[in-house]
Homo-oligomer: A and B are copies of this chain.
Amino acid sequence: MKPGIPKGTRDFGPKAVKKRNYIFNIIKGVFTKYGFDSIETPVMENLQTLTGKYGEEGDKLLFKVLNNGDYLAKADQQALEDKNSNKLTSSISKRGMRYDLTVPFARFVVMHQNDLAFPFKRFQIQPVWRADRPAKGRYQEFYQCDVDIIGSKSLTYEAELCFIYDEIFDALGLDVEIRINNRKILAGLAAFVGVEDKFQDMTVAIDKLDKIGPEKVILEMTERGIPKEAATTVLELIGQKDLEAFEKTLNTQELAMEGIAELKKVYKYLSTKTMKNTVVFDPCLARGLNYYTGAIFEVVGLNVNMGSLGGGGRYADLTSIFGLKDMSGVGVSLGAERIYDVMLEKELFPSDLDEGLDLLLIAMDEEAHDFGFSQLSQIRSAGIQAELYPDPTKMKKQMKYANARQAKFVAIIGSEELEKQQFTLKDMVTGNQQLVDIKALIDKLS
């Protein structure tokens, strides 16, 4: 049997794990600095928690876990007879795998509402699963990094999320543009052109502007029942990236003016801190998810060909699907997998992540080997990452291992060294060798 792993999944070896942890640690550090706490939710959720939350397409992409035991005994017999997979599923599967971190977060907040202090600030860095067709940069199992504040309408949080993006990408060494918009402006715009009832269609279409261009967006809008004239006006207006211009055009639209005022307030908060990256008003930014109701964000890498590196927004009512109303929140996420790919491509990982062992001890015979082992604890106590090659085998084989482990130093123990209780210490970079005792060895490597 030839071993393999499911398509769209990955093994991470030592080097990849170090690089991934480097990214996660920077992200966690900034989240923690801003007062966010980590929570973790189970990989498996009840299927009814997940179903219907991600649209029809999302339901299809959910991984469902088969019930254990004799699941066919309790299966929907009609669905079985009809060979109706879709209908059968809920009777043979009651659990699904987490599809994102937002729905589990909403579920968590509702379940634990009596134990939480609101506004509740949490971050969550865990993998999610989607049965999407695997492609370059698209996996079936991948990490999401979410940060949210729930239980407050304060716009200070919108500003702080921009600070968080800014500090994280700065620490990672990536130049980005943080794009911001407000769904109220878009809703006011829809009202202004008389397609209030087609708001969702309009946002889904203009969200694709970067990808497919203005003509195709207009075409998509008309196909979705928006009059061509209205669609054209929308495109003309969102082409203006000037907030003042919006304010003039939409001054009769109360909701739009509310969104503009919110945006101005966010900019006022942003002005209190020197940022490395800029926050740009982008009226084309729509974000397709229909739970966003206020500010929306997107981060795009500059000088990289890699789409969005993160996004998010404010939601007025995320937890109401689980029965808890009036819990406004705002959050963003970071596309850790894409960030990883960009950082690899641009060689932004610090070189010491790839560093190997500090020291490999190499013994030439059984007695020397025992001596080598007896010295290890003392060396390790000094904070030196040291190992003894497991057997006193051929020098060549041991040196090959030293190279494979990228050992910085090798300490050779032959019969002569053993007699003196010393080591021939070899610097693997310069090739220099010197005879040292244990104290000198520790001094040299500490």
Interface stretch (choices A79-87, A246-254, A336-344): A79-87
Query: Please, which residue of chain B has its CB at the minimum distance from the CB of A385?
Result: B35
Complex Cα spacing A42 to B280, Å: 38
Assess whether B83 is in contact with A6, with CB atoms less than 8 Å apart: no
Return A379 CB to nearest CB of chain B, in Å: 11
Alpha-carbon separation in the docked complex, A385 to B86 (Å): 50
Do B117 and A35 touch (CB < 8 A)? no
Residues of B within 8 A of A405 (CB): 35, 117
Known contacts A11-B108, A12-B39, A377-B272; decide if A3 and B388 are in contact (CB<8 Å): no
Complex CA–CA separation, A45 to B141 (angstroms): 11
A4 contacts which chain B residues (CB < 8 A)?
46, 49, 111
Min C-beta distance of A373 to chain B, whole Å: 6
Which of A57-65, A172-180, A289-297 faces chain B?
A57-65
- B10 with A42: CB separation less than 8 A: yes
User: Cβ of A429 < 8 Å from any Cβ of B?
Assistant: no
Q: Which of B13, B45, B157, B373 lies in contact with A112, CB distance below 8 A?
A: B13
Write out, one digit per residue, whether chain A residues 86-99 have a CB within 8 A of any chain B CB (1) or not (0).
10110011110100
Stretch from A67-75, A216-224, A230-238, A310-318 that touches the partner: A67-75
| Interface positions of A from 135 to 157, Cβ below 8 Å from B | 140-141, 149, 152-154, 156-157
Q: Are A374 and B272 in contact (CB under 8 A)?
A: yes
Pair A3/B110 contact, Cβ less than 8 Å: yes
- Give the chain B neighbours of A83 by CB distance below 8 A: 72-73
CB of A419 within 8 A of chain B? no
Assuming the A-B contacts A84-B72, A97-B65, are A14 and B42 also in contact, with contact meaning beta carbons closer than 8 angstroms in the complex? no
Report the nearest B residue to A38, measured CB to CB.
Answer: B17
Known contacts A65-B66, A66-B64, A83-B73, A46 near B163 by CB under 8 Å: no
In this complex, what residue of B is CB-closest to A80?
B80
- The reply on A242 being an interface residue by CB < 8 A is no
Contact A391 B152 (CB under 8 A): yes
Structural contact, A85 and B69, CB atoms closer than 8 A: yes
**Do A117 and B401 form a contact, CB below 8 Å, given A45-B6, A66-B89?**
yes
Chain B residues whose CB sits within 8 angstroms of the CB of A127 once the complex forms: 43
Q: Please report which residues of chain A, range 106-128, place their CB below 8 angstroms from some CB of chain B when the two chains form the complex.
A: 107-108, 110-112, 115-117, 119, 122, 127
Contact A63-B72, Cβ < 8 Å, known A40-B11, A376-B272? no
Residues of A366-409 at the interface with B, using a CB-CB cut-off of 8 Å, are 370, 373-374, 376-377, 380, 385-388, 390-391, 401, 404-405
Tell me the A residues contacting B by CB distance below 8 Å.
1-6, 9-14, 17-18, 21, 32-35, 37-46, 48-49, 60-61, 63-66, 68-73, 80, 83-86, 88-89, 92-95, 97, 107-108, 110-112, 115-117, 119, 122, 127, 129, 131, 140-141, 149, 152-154, 156-157, 159, 163, 268-269, 272-274, 321-323, 357, 370, 373-374, 376-377, 380, 385-388, 390-391, 401, 404-405
Interchain Cβ contacts under 8 Å between A and B, 9 examples: A1-B322, A2-B323, A3-B107, A5-B41, A5-B45, A13-B115, A44-B141, A65-B66, A269-B373
